[in-house]
Amino acid sequence: MVIFNMGRVLQATRKASIKGSTLNAQAASPGYMDAFRRKIVPSNQRLVEEYKRTIYACANINSNSIVSTPLRLYVKTGQGDKTTVLRTKALESNHIDYLSSKPFLGKTLRSFLNVEEVVEHPILTLLEKANSSRYINGQKLQEFIQLYQELTGIAYLLIETSLPFGLPQNLWILPTQWVKPRQKGNKLIDHYEFSPPGSNVPIKYQPEDIISFLMPSLIDPYVDGVSPLQASYESNEVNKKLMSHEDALLTNEARPDVIISPKDAESAFSPETAEKFERQYRLKFAFGRSGGAWVPDEPIVVTPVTIPPRDLARLEINKWSKNDIANAFSIPFALIADASHNREQLEAAELGHAKHGITPRCNRNTCVWNDLFVSLFDNSGRLFLAYDDPVPENRVEKMQESVQFVMNGIATPNERRKLHNMPPHPDGNELRAINVSPELMRDNKANSGDDERESKE
């Protein structure tokens, strides 16, 4: 009989990942990121320092998208559950369908009798204020959580509890580059060490004090995360070198545009004559006066200096590196490209970004919030957090659908006006089909009971 010990498996996995990792920034022995084994895997401190240029743009696009997607609290009432005493508001059927479609929520909502949005609860208060500091509120806290994930693959949230009930009182973001998980014995994580600059002794936190948001890592799935920046680090290095090279050329471009030499190759300019020609040329053409005519009073030869163009090649390399970085961050290139795009292309890019980039991030964060945060307030399983759908709806298609529903007698005008957040119309509660067949009208009346009422009358 084989006894499966999951604790030993996790411990062995953790030790193997630390020993042979090529991506883990916390590894005891550094790994390499290139095929020639010359570039060491960047530390979390180095990754955070790359928060600029294309990385800044991509990380902020994802972070801002997460922050702008509302995170709401819900309560479900199942068979045998008491009616909730919390302040709630009812949900539209399409919103309940959206929640049920989520893989991480559908299972918990299969046996529900009712789902409502909670509008007042300590969870919502804490998510809004975050902590007692006046520098970081709930919005900034979520922004930092996502930014650290985009750059390092990990975000650490410190939970400060209050006595005597032990409920969370403050949420503090811990800079990832100063946090290290430590293992001891059979524990996957024995404690966390927080070592900010200037501290001689690291601060130790227990695993239950820390909520870690991890991006998927195939090297160490339980403790570590791999960020989009780590996945595209070499492309970012190419982009940095191009920018540094251009800056060096603009700062000190030691090349002349013309060469002024004597007409007679056997003679040479005296220092005074050379200085005179140089001064005359600069006075004539410097500071935006290029293109004018110059008639020297001595026989000279002016030779233009032609340097082979190389800007196009640099632009192509720069475009390639930015595209590779954007792909790692799940951002369509149209959202960061310099070239102009029409409205249709930008809307398609935003739709793809929300569907393939933001939705998975929202789902991943939601699981962490529910498993490690909501459970600190309520262990009944009835409360859960969920983001609104980050995929923007097509307003044109939605309006066209509403028009068709009303004209075909499928919905009343007020039903569709409510869907578009419009006030009800006094005469909008009646089905008024316009372009439907008489047979469909009879079916609608039969289904609604109008035929029976008319026959009684």
- pLDDT tens, position by position, 18-65: 444 433 444 444 576 666 667 778 899 999 999 998 999 999 999 999
The confidence band for 407, taking pLDDT boundaries of 50, 70 and 90, is confident
Lowest mean pLDDT among 171-180, 221-230, 240-249, 251-260: 251-260
Of the candidate ranges 82-86, 164-168, 194-198, 223-227, the one whose mean pLDDT is the lowest: 164-168
The top-scoring range by mean pLDDT among 8-17, 102-111, 227-236, 313-322 is 227-236
| pLDDT value, residue 253 | 59
DSSP 335: G
Highest mean pLDDT: which of 1-5, 380-384, 393-397?
380-384
What is the pLDDT at residue 235? 86
What whole-number percentage of the chain has pLDDT above 90?
A: 37
Res 428 pLDDT > 60: yes
Confidence at 147, pLDDT banded by 50, 70, 90: very high
Residue 27: its pLDDT value, please? 41
Mean pLDDT of the chain: 80
Return the pLDDT at 449.
Answer: 53
Token pair 């163009």: residue: 309
Pairing of the two strands 179-184 and 187-194: antiparallel
Task: Please provide the DSSP assignment of 175-238 as one string.
Answer: -GGGEEEEEETTEEEEEEEE--TT-SSPEEE-GGGEEEEE---SS-TTT----HHHHTHHHHHH
